[in-house]
Amino acid sequence: MGIIFTGSRHSIRPSLNLDFANSKALDPRITFSRTSNATYYDGYTTVKAEENLVKYSQDFDNAYWLKEAATVTANSTSAPDGTTTAELLLETAASGTHKIYPNPPPYNSVTGNSFTVSIYCKSYVSDRYLGLVSQLGGGSRVSVRFDPSTQTLSSVLIVGSEITNVTAGYQDVGNGWYRVYLSGTFSAGNVYIAAAPSNTMTPLDQSYGFSSYSGDVTKGIYLWGAQIEQKDNVSAYTPTTNSLITKYQPALQTAGNNVARFDHNPTTGESLGLLIEEQRTNLVNISEDISDASFTTNFITKQGSTLIAPDGTLTAGTITSTSGTAGMRLQKNATSSTGVAVTYSIYVKKGNNRYVTIGDRGESTEPWSTFDFDTESITGSPIVTTVNSTSVGNGWYRISMTWTKQNASFAGIVAFKSSFATTNTTPSFVGTGYETIHIWGMQLEVGSFPTSYIKTTGSQVTRSYDDAEMKNINQDDWFKQSKGTWFVNAKTFEPISISDKRIIHVDNTTNGSNRFPDIYIDYDDVKALFIKQGLTLSVTNFVSSDTYFKYSLAYEYQNANVAGDGTAETVNTTLTGSTSDLTTIYIGNYNGGYYFLNGYIKKLSYYPLRLTDNEIIDLTEE
């Protein structure tokens, strides 16, 4: 690594100090362009992802749930998640409304808000139906009935003017289970879950929202998973016990054309600095809506818009296994170039299956990678060259795999698995009909690493490259043509096996022949190139992918040196001559369109003189 010097605190202030991580803004002298939208995390925007405002959402036998002319038998049958936690609501022989409801009411103190009430139900006997009622003060109520035997939803009954914007529906979640929901603007009141003798309402029912009748102790309906959310649509079920639950998650943002991205770690909030990426295209023409017919299934069921996606919209989907079959998967086709590195990525969230596997069945030798939600680890089959996983909050991960494409056809797979993928063969998994995985944001791109997410809704989309430049520096007093000190705190997420990742490129605007200096990552070294003098200075074995480093370069006539993370190289005295026609600084790329950093710059500073070796060591230790 060279000579070790004792640090010395410098007193000179930089004449240019681009502190991207802290300012989260561009200096007005920087010209930035990108001719497309692009995604990033802003470090503060979150969205409500999950909520349940009712306690004991699966334990209807709990005293929290009051019973009227009804009994509840706990753990009566398999629930939608495969556990034996579903409960049976049975009528008593008494005359009345056979119902249960939470006490105290879950939303009686909130006024004028949108709520969604939902519950899972399954037929116990064919002549009993689910009655779902939200009743407010003053006699106002909204109610709906559902027949799980015939999957028939009654018309919605609204009594009173305090309830508005009402919608109702149901979702088939497999194995005879249905999730029934009722949404609207409610001012106060409670939710009631009742057994009903028919799927139509008599005049008396219409007046009160319930059916009053003499019960039959052999009649009832299976229930599971009650939920109340303060939102206008139904989202992923969140179980509760003795406390309410509200969960938020970071929301992926979209920057418009020519807007720089100051990205953040979505889980820690760390400001990562200015993001510079090369151009990429998502070759998958529909990246989110798995309900589209182009997403085909093999021994699974799929459902779109089941939970909040990483971008804060209700666009994430769920796949569910079927029983007793192997090779269960969701598939999306695309085309790609052959003989090049490609990267397949997708956002995944655990349902109740520990593993998820992604792969490409369009290849003659299939690449596969498996992610373990419990250990947050990922592994690839032999043909896969690189795998990666990144937590983006609230149980969501973005996982990816890279390999060399053999065939032009791409059959992107999301599959169930019970262990890591170890061979280049289709995963074999026999389901029970209850396993689930949540997915969103499928992307296939040509390149040896994943870049930021590119949304598609019907055709391929290209995100153009980020270009940041400072022009006319020859007219500014802060810059000296043939001497100075540069400091940079940066990292690349591009593999270090790839050379020429530019941090800064100082040149004129002709053909890149000056380069005085050119600071770049070359494999695991950081190099400073003075092209006119034929001089290259290096800090060797210095860089790891996706790890920040601090680097400083100081130079003047016959005196140049570099330092990295507290270590300086040997002083070089071969720098000769000077230059007087430097006009432009290209930040994170070479000459406005090549050799992109594919990473982040937290800080970039320039001092208008050659600092001492001890001072540049001190810079890289701060």
CA 424 to chain centre: 27
- pLDDT more than 70, % of the chain: 91
The residue extents of the domains of the chain are 16-40+466-621, 51-247, 280-463
Confidence class for position 1, pLDDT limits 50, 70, 90: very low
The better pLDDT of the pair 156, 605 is held by: 605
Confidence class for position 207, pLDDT limits 50, 70, 90: low
Contact 544, 496 (CB under 8 A): yes
Strand-pairing partners, residue 251, are none
Q: What is the mean pLDDT of residues 595-615?
A: 95
Give CA torsion, residues 75, 78, 82, 83, to 10 deg: 10
Dump pLDDT digits (tens) for 495-510.
Answer: 999 899 999 999 886 6
Q: How many residues does the chain have?
A: 622
Residue 24 has φ and ψ, to the nearest 5°, of 50, 40
**pLDDT value, residue 518:** 86
**pLDDT value, residue 609:** 94
Residue 156 CA to residue 450 CA, distance in Å, equals 47
Q: What is the mean pLDDT of residues 412-430?
A: 84
Contact 620, 552 (CB under 8 A): yes
Residue 614 has φ and ψ, to the nearest 5°, of -65, -35
C-alpha distances in Å from residue 309, one per residue of 106, 353, 578: 26, 18, 55
Instruction: Tell me which H or E stretch contains 203.
Output: helix 203-208
Dump pLDDT digits (tens) for 6-64.
Answer: 444 556 899 999 999 999 999 999 999 999 999 999 999 999 999 999 999 999 999 99
Contact 224, 57 (CB under 8 A): no
Please name which of 471, 546, 457 lies closest in space to residue 37, comparing C-alpha atoms.
Answer: 457
- Which DSSP state fits 475? G
Tokens of 120: 């899972």
Contact 181, 173 (CB under 8 A): no
Confidence class for position 89, pLDDT limits 50, 70, 90: very high
pLDDT at 259 over 50: yes
Dump pLDDT digits (tens) for 342-395.
Answer: 999 999 999 999 999 999 999 999 999 999 999 999 999 999 999 999 999 999
pLDDT at 570 over 60: yes
**Fold of the domain built from segment(s) 280-463:** Jelly Rolls (2.60.120)
The yes/no answer on whether domain 16-40+466-621 falls in CATH 2.60.120.200 is yes
C-alpha distances in Å from residue 119, one per residue of 200, 211, 234, 311, 541: 19, 19, 10, 26, 58
Least confident residue range of 102-116, 334-348, 416-430: 102-116
- Which DSSP state fits 251? -
**pLDDT value, residue 420:** 80
Contact 257, 72 (CB under 8 A): no
Contact 205, 87 (CB under 8 A): no
C-alpha distances in Å from residue 330, one per residue of 175, 184, 231, 361, 439: 19, 34, 30, 11, 10
Q: What is the mean pLDDT of residues 533-554?
A: 86
What is the Cα gyration radius of the chain?
31
Dump pLDDT digits (tens) for 473-486.
Answer: 999 999 998 899 99
Contact 99, 68 (CB under 8 A): yes
pLDDT at 396 over 70: yes
Least confident residue range of 12-26, 105-119, 170-184, 371-385: 105-119
Strands 220-229 and 461-463: unpaired
**pLDDT value, residue 32:** 98
Residue 113 CA to residue 48 CA, distance in Å, equals 15
Shared fold status for 16-40+466-621 and 51-247: yes
pLDDT at 603 over 50: yes
Q: What is the mean pLDDT of residues 518-540?
A: 82
Q: Which residues contact 585 (CB under 8 A, 6 or more apart)?
A: 469, 470, 473, 504, 505, 506
Q: Which residues contact 372 (CB under 8 A, 6 or more apart)?
A: 354, 355, 378, 420
**pLDDT value, residue 542:** 85
Q: What is the mean pLDDT of residues 302-328?
A: 92
Count CB atoms within 10 A of the CB of residue 17: 15
**Fold of the domain built from segment(s) 51-247:** Jelly Rolls (2.60.120)
Q: What is the mean pLDDT of residues 254-264?
A: 98
Residue 254 CA to residue 42 CA, distance in Å, equals 9
**pLDDT value, residue 479:** 94
Residue 72 CA to residue 565 CA, distance in Å, equals 66
**pLDDT value, residue 3:** 43
Report the amino acid identity of residue 219. Answer: K
Q: Which residues contact 313 (CB under 8 A, 6 or more apart)?
A: none
